[in-house]
Amino acid sequence: MTSEDRPVTSTLFDRVGLLYTGDPAREEIENAALVVEGGEVVWAGPAGAAPHADERVDVEGRCVIPGFVDSHAHLVFAGDRTAEFAARMAGRPYTAGGIRTTVSATRAASDAELAARTATLVAETLAQGTTTVEIKSGYGLTVEDERRSLEIARRFTEETTYLGAHVVPPDASSADEYVRTVTGEMLEACAPHARWVDVFCERGAFDADQSREILLAGVKAGLLPRIHANQLGEGPGVRIAAEVGAASADHCTHLSDDDVLALSSSGVVATLLPGAEFSTRSPYPDARRLLDAGVTVALATDCNPGSSFTSSMPFCVALAVREMRMTPLEAIRAATYGGARALRRGDVGTLRVGSRGDLVILDAPTYVHLAYRPGVPLVRQVWKGGRRLV
Ligand code: NIG
Ligand code: FE
């Protein structure tokens, strides 16, 4: 076998102007190099000191960051809600009720249509630098439609979330009866395809007792809890997250001082979703207050057809910096390392020895440009598991 025929097993990323590692122990390295071998980072350090590799990629002074970890997305659905968005921009408020429009369209779609739509959205996330994405069910709301939503989601990610408790569907005879289905027959059908269980704990969706019951039933079935909490108003969601040991409480837009304390003392990650505030023209969560209290913050897209139809982590980083008083460093950290923490993953969201070789080469000298040059396509190359995909 000649050297050309030999499969490339190691890649040296050389002349990296700035390496953002996401590793709290050594977060940034200037004039760096990185070696990925067998799909994993095996070396990171100063350019010039790197060991030999089969292949060399000259990064030409650009910035390299870990692939984004989008820990909150709803990518299995049909139809869209353009008219609802336009009406909202003309002054109509956002309510949880819009979810039902997408439920009807999703139920009417074939498996092939749903899978094709999900594939398009996943490709969209990848093109914008996301290498790990969480995908929720929640637009089926029957045993079979939730099961097939998760079965489709699993084709694209290990991070699948059972969200049968998104809203009570109009055809349920009562909320109590629907909660029985969600914690019984539907859970049994969905658990084999899911890693996580989630509930929309909000006025108009599920109350404290129902949310607790749904999450604990999921835990009993072997799933890990996470929650949609405190999005539209203050409520019990964050405190339930702490109580059940959820990995993450998502939205966190309206928080009392007790909620902030519950997050900081429990270690529950606060996942902020600024695309939702942007698209519902709502006040943004106060990231500064959370960071100052020592809470771990993640940023995610919440990509869904109702409240946040963006698949772009760079857009969320820009919003977080401009609108949520996060520094560019805090925002990139939240979009990589923070997302990984929200998914309890140690192998992604960082570029340290042992991390998966998931990285983005930015067409910029620093990650600061993600906020400084908003809306500009700065994702130049995306590598996942040591293979170039974009
Ligand atoms: O996270 N909050 C609940 N679920 C979505 C919205 C879903 C929809 O409006 O279709 C969210 O914002
Ligand atoms: Fe959501």
Mean pLDDT of successive 10-residue segments in the chain (390 residues)? Answer: 62 98 95 97 96 97 99 98 96 88 97 98 98 98 98 98 97 97 98 98 96 98 98 97 98 98 98 98 97 98 98 98 98 98 98 98 98 98 98
253 CA distance to ligand 2 middle (Å)? 13
**Residue to mutate (ligand 1; options 166, 253, 316; most atoms within 8 A of CB):** 166
- At residue 210, the pLDDT reads 98
Q: Which of 320, 322, 349 is nearest to 70 (CA)?
A: 349
Distance, CA 72 to ligand 2 centroid (Å)?
6
pLDDT at site 7 = 65
Q: Whose C-alpha lies nearest to ligand 1, atom 3?
A: 200
Q: Is 306 in the pocket of ligand 1 (CB under 6 A)?
A: yes
User: What is d(CA 282, CA 232) in angstroms, rounded to the nearest whole number?
Assistant: 9
- Substitution candidate for ligand 1 out of 77, 99, 101, 198 with most atoms within 8 A of CB: 99
| pTM, entire model | 0.97
Per-residue pLDDT, 6: 58
The pLDDT score that the predictor gives to residue 3 is: 47
In whole angstroms, give the CA distance from residue 160 to residue 116: 17
Return the SS3 of 336.
Answer: helix
Residue labelled with tokens 């290498």: 131
In the structure, ligand 2 is a single-atom ion and the residues with CB under 5 Å from it are 302
* Residue 307 Cβ contacting ligand 1 at under 6 Å: yes
Identity of the residue numbered 166: H
What integer pLDDT is reported at residue 1 of this predicted model?
42
For ligand 2, the distance from its centroid to the CA atom of residue 4, given in whole angstroms, is: 47
DSSP tag of 60:
T
Full set of structural domains in the chain with CATH? 10-66+350-388 (2.30.40.10), 68-342 (3.20.20.140)
Regarding beta strands 68-70 and 63-66, do their DSSP bridges make them parallel or antiparallel, or are they unpaired? Answer: unpaired
Q: Is the CB of 302 under 6 A from ligand 1?
A: yes
**118-124 long-range Cβ contacts below 8 angstroms, 24+ apart:** 118/75, 118/76, 118/152, 118/153, 118/155, 118/156, 119/156, 121/73, 121/75, 121/303, 121/311, 122/75, 122/156, 122/157, 124/311
pLDDT at residue 94, as a whole number: 87
